[in-house]
Amino acid sequence: MGEVDPAFIQDPEHRPKLCFSEAEGIPMIDLSPSREKEKDPSALDRLVKEIGSACKEWGFFQVINHGVPLDHRHKVEAAAREFFGESKEEKNKVRRDAVKVLGYYDTEHTKNVRDWKEVFDFSVEEPTLVPASLDPHNQDVTHWHNQWPHYPPYLREVCQEYAKDMVKLALELMELIALSLGLPQKRFHEFFKDQTSFIRLNHYPPCPSPHLALGVGRHKDSGVLTILAQDDVGGLEVKRKSDGEWVRVRPTPNAYIINVGDMIQVWSNEAYESVEHRVMVNSEKERFSIPFFLNPSHYTMVEPLEELVNENNPAKYKPYNWGKFLVTRKRSNFMKLDVENIQIYNFKV
């Protein structure tokens, strides 16, 4: 979900470090073999292996030739800049709260005061169906509705168009990930009929004390997959699995950054792992980014896939309901919880 894990707050490693490694960047993968009309089986096989290797070794990769129209992305970026440039009074008209959980917020009004950003969230499905109660025996559902600002007036249209692009790309990536795990190509499609996916517009203003703040603290994404568009300022850092070093992801024009979420870690029974990442702020330049968070339907029971479990590799997680998990995490944005926020390790066998 892109929310910071409260368990990391007091960890000294959470604090910004001035050094990081750029010696070896995350893998860059060309997706063109998967969409060519006359597909080359050998090229597709190589692509699937590249995806599998990136998921296993990094949990992150970048993609080019992804099929998303460049003008769609530019329109959303322009609309985001215009929206965040509006007065605080105007932006507050679509401020999120415990009832309207989607919309605008900034770090002044969140518990994560160390994060230096302002945000606008909107869901892909309008409305989005979620559980009405955290009671495991209560199956009632409620609806999350988007809040769209009056200014800029075209924000809603361009965001909805872009959301279609993101869903299409995400499902294509899930097909490649399925093949890399030895599963049928469309094995994951069933989970996204009533998806709870959403898109976040991020604005990171210049920070006068970058050594005291982060754009986003170190965390893992609790959903399935994240597709990130970032501008040329950059700031995303990934914790390299091989040695635990933080690696800066250099901005690549028109590329998307992909990362495996916690749910793929569970579905794959830890063949692929979700990886920690964070965002560093800039003292001179503002930064914009647009992450898309692919999430399944609220009624999805998340557990290791039966095809990937056997006597030698038993299930490492107990089943959990995604909708209840999502609502619990969202609830923590608006009230102080007496217990640590829910994490997938709560369901480890």
Per-residue confidence at 340, pLDDT binned at 50, 70, 90?
low
Nearest to 329 by CA among 191, 158, 196, 164: 196
What are the counts of helices (DSSP H) followed by strands (DSSP E) for the chain? 6, 16
- pLDDT at site 38: 75
- pLDDT at site 12: 37
Average pLDDT of the chain to the nearest whole number: 88
pLDDT tens digits for range 288-324: 999 999 999 999 999 999 999 999 999 999 999 999 9
Per-residue confidence at 151, pLDDT binned at 50, 70, 90?
very high
Residue percentage of the chain with pLDDT more than 70: 87
Q: Inform me whether the pLDDT recorded for 244 exceeds 50.
A: yes
Q: Inform me whether the pLDDT recorded for 164 exceeds 60.
A: yes
Give how far Cα 19 sits from Cα of 16, 27, 246, Å: 9, 21, 8
Q: Inform me whether the pLDDT recorded for 277 exceeds 50.
A: yes
All structural domains of the chain? 6-347 (2.60.120.330)
Q: Inform me whether the pLDDT recorded for 339 exceeds 90.
A: no
Q: Are 239 and 260 in contact (CB under 8 A)?
A: no
d(CA 131, CA 140): 6
Q: Is the pTM of this model over 0.85?
A: yes
Q: Are 219 and 8 in contact (CB under 8 A)?
A: yes
Rg (alpha carbons) of the chain, rounded to whole number: 19
Nearest to 166 by CA among 291, 17, 303, 281: 291
Residue percentage of the chain with pLDDT more than 90: 72
Top-confidence range, 6-20, 67-81, 99-113, 123-137: 67-81
Higher pLDDT, 2 or 95: 95
Average of pLDDT values for 45-74? Answer: 97
Higher pLDDT, 309 or 113: 309
Q: Inform me whether the pLDDT recorded for 144 exceeds 60.
A: yes
Average of pLDDT values for 75-90? Answer: 97
